[in-house]
Chain A
Amino acid sequence: MMGVRAGLNGGIRWVSALAGLCGCWCAEGADRAPTGEQVRLVAERAAVTAGAPFTLAVELRTRPGWHTYWMNPGDSGLAPALRWQLPDGVRLTGVAFPVPERIEEEGMVSFGYTDRVWLLADFATEKDRAFAEPIEVGVSVDWMVCLDTCVPLKGSDTLRLTVGGAAADGEKAAVADPEFGRWRARTPQPANGWGVQAQITRRGLALRIRPAAGAGLAADAWKRARFYPLRRGGLDLVAPQRWRADGAAWEAILRNGPEPHKAGESLEGVLVFEPEPGDRDAVPRAWSLRATVKGRP
């Protein structure tokens, strides 16, 4: 995780600057403790174009040192739940969670994000709709932050976006926030062209993968691999995952959790490759995997 932290140094400085500002406006509400937690929507571009997709970030910021959670919170905690308020003609097509940190404490594992995270939400817009400008996009978030204790939070934010009449105008108005690129680099990629098999064995769930040729992974990358399951309870998150190479395929027997995956169930998760030790600026590379679980041979 050192790599992740190092890679986010710029971001942490930026948060510190913002936290200073936040101290001012939080103090205005006398009855509100200046906790520093915040839900904020950020637009990648100033204008959207009818018929073209666009991306917004949902920034979840915790108190320094606290964490919030990934889609599978792990052995404790709670995943953030987002509810969108969208104008007619705008449709959410997906929300990408960056690769979480694996936080292991006292024999339990949490998947989450220390200090802050950007969840990248993708939207589609209708091509032939005459949008009344500006369009307003809102999000309400139920989320939880934890350190020694856990605090459930509710937050919301709204953004107004102008609609460019034509793609060219949209491009002209576009001022891409470079932060989007940094978070996108931490988002798992689809495992197109990968071979993925999951089979129940006596010792646990055998996960066998064959990376796509174009994945650009070193031949010994399996030594730094770890599978983060999407479903809570199916796998033991604390147990070491002993990956091994078998020709071009890599395999690990994953120890079952209290609610083991069943035959026919879809196993979903993210295969994370930590950066090489000493590669401080690198972020983990990750692919989203999916396989139908096969019963015992």
Chain B
Amino acid sequence: MAGMRSHAIQVVAAAALGMALCGWAQEVGKPAPEFALKDIAGKEHSLAGFKGKFVVLEWTNYDCPFVKKHYETGNMQALQKAYTEKDVIWLSICSSAPGKQGHFTAEEWAERVKKEKATPTAVLTDADGKVGKLYGAKNTPQLFVINPEETVIYSGALDDQPGLDREKMKDAVNYVKQALDAALAKKPVETPVTAPYGCTVKY
């Protein structure tokens, strides 16, 4: 237990150093920083608890227009469904601070998740923004893919369409889908880092 904790501390320290040095999101190829967050029903989920599985971290804010684009069209829910069916853990994380856009009470959360027809493994709240900042999450939507060995294998945008034009979504290159499909087939991820787009995370 002590060994695990010290490992986690090292990882966090390395992540913090990495962020300080590059100023960008959690680096691909580096160990994913450990965290534990409660879901909207109050149940705690830790990254360590999902070791051995692929994990997607999806920074979200349901009221951000760029997030809405992917939820109102069913795009995000379809990905959540497709990959959780393949035993991928999909964690939607909201780092909106109290009083900021996208922050809800427990009751509101339950309603919103139902209304959005979201089907991730869990929706986690990070109201103090600690985990968002640990990962260097700047935008919503912004995604990370973590492999079973807890290494970050993708960091960035959902796709290559930073606009709001829904007509263009059918031609979008979905980087997260590409990364997951490659990794699940034990192939290298072709585009492991992209520039996220969207709203700012409402820390």
> Which A residues are closer than 8 A to B by beta carbons?
75-76, 78, 81, 105-108, 142, 144, 146, 148-152, 232-233, 236, 238-239, 255, 257-259
Contacts and interface: CB of A to CB of B under 8 A. Distances in A.
Nearest to A255: B23
B24 A258 contact: yes
28 contacts: A75-B139, A76-B138, A76-B139, A76-B198, A76-B199, A78-B162, A78-B163, A106-B200, A144-B164, A146-B199, A148-B100, A148-B101, A149-B63, A149-B64, A149-B101, A150-B64, A150-B65, A150-B199, A151-B65, A232-B162, A232-B197, A233-B194, A236-B23, A255-B23, A257-B195, A258-B156, A258-B196, A259-B193
Interface of B: 22-25, 63-66, 100-101, 138-139, 155-156, 162-165, 193-200, 202-203
Contacts of B165: 81, 142
Contacts of B100: 148
Contacts of A78: 162-164
A238 B23 contact: yes
Nearest to B140: A76
Contacts of B162: 78, 232
B139 A239 contact: no
B163 A81 contact: yes
Give the dominant DSSP class at A's interface.
Answer: loop
A148 B61 CA distance: 13
B199 A107 contact: no
A107 B200 CA distance: 10
A150 B25 CA distance: 22
Given A150-B64, A239-B23, A258 B155 contact: yes
A106 B155 contact: no
Given A81-B163, A258-B25, 8 more contacts: A76-B139, A76-B197, A76-B198, A76-B199, A108-B138, A149-B101, A150-B66, A259-B195
Contacts of B199: 76, 146, 149-150
A215 to B, nearest CB: 32
A232 B203 CA distance: 23
Q: Find the residue from A108, A146, A150 having the highest chain B CB count within 10 A.
A: A150
Nearest to B63: A149
A257 B164 CA distance: 23
B164 to A, nearest CB: 5
Contacts of B196: 258
B195 A233 contact: yes
A151 B66 CA distance: 10
A73 to B, nearest CB: 8
Nearest to A110: B200
